[in-house]
C-alpha cells in the first residue's frame, strides 16, 4: 500500500511539473487542459447565448462598444492578435461582461449604464480580454480536474465575468475544496486581469485612471458585499488600491499612446 501511494504521488508530481507554465505577471500556472478544448467549449457556449439571449439593435451602443473593443484588441500580441475576435452585445440589464477562449467577447447593455465614458468601458473590456490572454479559464478547468470537482464548463469559462456581484463557493465550483484553493486562485486571477487589462487599455489610448472611477461606480451599485475571503473577486477597496499602485507603469504607456496619435474617440451618443 505504501509503495502504491508513493507511485501515485510520483506520477502526480510528474504531471504537475509537466503542466506548469507562467502567467503574464510571472505567476506559476498548472495547465493541462488543451487550448483547443477550451476554445471549442467556449464557441458552443457563445453560440448558445447568441441564439437564446436577445442581442441589442441599438446602433449607437453597438458602435460604441465595438470602437472600444477594437482599440483594445489592436494592442494584443500574437497569438491573440491573430484571432478574429467576435463581439456580441446582449440586451440585458444585468451589469456584466465577459471574454471567452478563442476570441469571444460578450457585453450586457447593463454595463453601459455604469460606464460613463470610453475609458471606463475600456477598463472592463481590457480586464475581460486579459482573462483570455492569461488563460485563466484553462487554468481553472485544469485545477478543477486536479481537485476532482465536477464543474460546469460554462461556469468556468464565465468565471471571470465583470459582474457587479460576486460568486459564492457553490456558484463558482460547487462545494468542497473551493475554500482555500479555488477562491484564492480566483482572486489572484482577478488581480492579474486588472493588471494586464490596465496595460492593454493604456496602450490603446484609454486613461487607466478611469478604472478607479469605474470601481467606485461598481461599489455604489452594490448595497453590500460578502467578506473578501468568501468572494472570488477582490474587495473593491483592495482592487482600487491595486489599480492606483499600477499607475506608475500604466500612465507612461497612456502618455506614449497619445504621443503616437492613438486616440480612439469612442463616444456615447445615446440618451
**Backbone phi and psi for residue 213, each to the nearest 5 degrees, phi listed first:** -60, -40
> DSSP secondary-structure letter at 109?
G
Cβ neighbours of residue 31 closer than 8 Å, sequence gap 6 or more? 19, 20, 21, 135, 138, 139, 142
Strands (E), 65-194: 86-90, 97-100, 104-108
| Alpha-carbon distances, residue 197 vs 131, 151, 189 (angstroms) | 8, 27, 12
Cβ neighbours of residue 13 closer than 8 Å, sequence gap 6 or more? none
Residue 220 C-alpha cell reads as 455604489
Cβ neighbours of residue 121 closer than 8 Å, sequence gap 6 or more? 64, 65, 68, 111, 112, 115, 266
| Residues assigned a catalytic role | 128
On whether the CB atoms of residues 35 and 138 are closer than 8 A, the answer is yes
Q: Which residues pair with 100 in a beta bridge?
A: 104
* Integer Cα distance of 194 and 177 in angstroms: 25
Residue 119 C-alpha cell reads as 475609458
* Integer Cα distance of 224 and 216 in angstroms: 14
Cα–Cα nearest to 133, from 76, 215, 177: 76
Amino acid at each position: 500500500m505504501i509503495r502504491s501511494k508513493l507511485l501515485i504521488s510520483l506520477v502526480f508530481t510528474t504531471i504537475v511539473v509537466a503542466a506548469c507554465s507562467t502567467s503574464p505577471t510571472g505567476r506559476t500556472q498548472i495547465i493541462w487542459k488543451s487550448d483547443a478544448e477550451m476554445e471549442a467549449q467556449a464557441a458552443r457556449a457563445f453560440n448558445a447565448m447568441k441564439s437564446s439571449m436577445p442581442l441589442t439593435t441599438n446602433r449607437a451602443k453597438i458602435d460604441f462598444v465595438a470602437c472600444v473593443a477594437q482599440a483594445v484588441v489592436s494592442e494584443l500580441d500574437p497569438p491573440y492578435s491573430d484571432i478574429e475576435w467576435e463581439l456580441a452585445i446582449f440586451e440585458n440589464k444585468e451589469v456584466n461582461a465577459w471574454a471567452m477562449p478563442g476570441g469571444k467577447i460578450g457585453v450586457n447593455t447593463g454595463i453601459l449604464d455604469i460606464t460613463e465614458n470610453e475609458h471606463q468601458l475600456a477598463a472592463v473590456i481590457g480586464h475581460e480580454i486579459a482573462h483570455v490572454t492569461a488563460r485563466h479559464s484553462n487554468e481553472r478547468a485544469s485545477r478543477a480536474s486536479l481537485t476532482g470537482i465536477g464543474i460546469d464548463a460554462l461556469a468556468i469559462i464565465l468565471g471571470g465575468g465583470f459582474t457587479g456581484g460576486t460568486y459564492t463557493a457553490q456558484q463558482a465550483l460547487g462545494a468542497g475544496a473551493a475554500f482555500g484553493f479555488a477562491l484564492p486562485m480566483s482572486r489572484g486571477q482577478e488581480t492579474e486581469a486588472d493588471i494586464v487589462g490596465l496595460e492593454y487599455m493604456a496602450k490603446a489610448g484609454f486613461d487607466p485612471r478611469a478604472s478607479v472611477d469605474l470601481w467606485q461606480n461598481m461599489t455604489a451599485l452594490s448595497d453590500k458585499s460578502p467578506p473578501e475571503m468568501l468572494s472570488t473577486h477582490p474587495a473593491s477597496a483592495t482592487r482600487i488600491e491595486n489599480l492606483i499602485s499600477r499607475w506608475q507603469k500604466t500612465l507612461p504607456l497612456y502618455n506614449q499612446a497619445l504621443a503616437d496619435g492613438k486616440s480612439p474617440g469612442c463616444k456615447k451618443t445615446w440618451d
